[in-house]
Amino acid sequence: MKNCLIVVNTYKEESHQIAKKITSFLEKKNINSSILEFNGFSDCYPFTGYDLVITLGGDGTVLYACRGCAELEIPVFPVNLGQFGFIAGIQPDEWLSLLEKYIDGKMPTAKRSMLSYKVIRGDKEVAAGCSLNDIVVRSNAAVSMVSVELANNGISLGNCKADGIIIATSTGSTAYSASAGGPIVDPEVEAMILTPINPFSLSMRPLVINARSEVTVKILPSREKNVILSFDGQTPFELLENDVIKITKLEKDAIIIGPSKEKFYNSLRFKLNWSGGPHA
């Protein structure tokens, strides 16, 4: 390993302090390092030429790094300075020992499925991108329904009237999808989770499908004209009637250092209070 990029979340006070320590540590290992500041929103991914990306922040910082690193096959070393840390599983007091283990080739990595999307307007592609957690089509106004037509590999799933629809990965099943009533899926399972947000019909339920599917979402005419697409909670893209969003599995997976089944289920037990009783 020759070059390392350290992504510093500017909203986390200790991130700069830890970045300095990591820089000093890498220098002793004859590894070049650079600092990239991240404020929570960015469509710039300057990761080409690096062998490793270290994130200092919460899960949002990891999502950003994975969107830029997956197709380049660059591993992400996620140090958790956030609240939940479902993806950022390395704690601030253990980065030194675990980074040393990774450099020595003794640290496990895991691959996480990502989503790719394209927005087709008429016969033109007007937007495209990828996400690690989810892609959301929803109204940008409070208490307003959107109407969409859903299909899986060209097979109609019917029309959906709701505040929106979430298409999530297994990794993203613990995020927005879970808060909307979607199932929590083991991140090692390759799947897409379709979760309606406050659907008009009580029969509309979340659906888990094969990750190799192509999901299409067509914006149908409705009174609500302010419809948007967002990915991983980033700056939304405005959609128009008859726009078609095509969502597939990204060809390359994100490579994340340090996650394990034990950490995932411990997060469910302790961070989501799955501790078994009314006084947990």
Residues involved in catalysis: 59
Does residue 15 sit in helix, strand or coil?
Answer: helix
Run of H or E including 262 = helix 261-271
Residue position matching structure tokens 């029309």: 159
Distances (CA, A) of 240 to 120, 205, 216, 221: 10, 25, 15, 9
Which positions ≥6 away from 16 have C-beta within 8 Å?
8
Contact 140, 226 (CB under 8 A): yes
Are the beta carbons of 217 and 242 closer than 8 angstroms? no
Contact 105, 160 (CB under 8 A): no
If one counts every other C-beta atom within 10 angstroms of the C-beta of residue 184, the result is 15
CA–CA distance, 65 with 5 (Å, rounded to integer):
10
In the numeric block, the tokens 């980033």 are attached to 234
Kindly compute the dihedral angle of the four CA atoms of residues 82, 87, 90, 91, in this order, to the nearest 10 degrees. 20
Q: Do 109 and 256 touch, CB atoms closer than 8 A?
A: yes
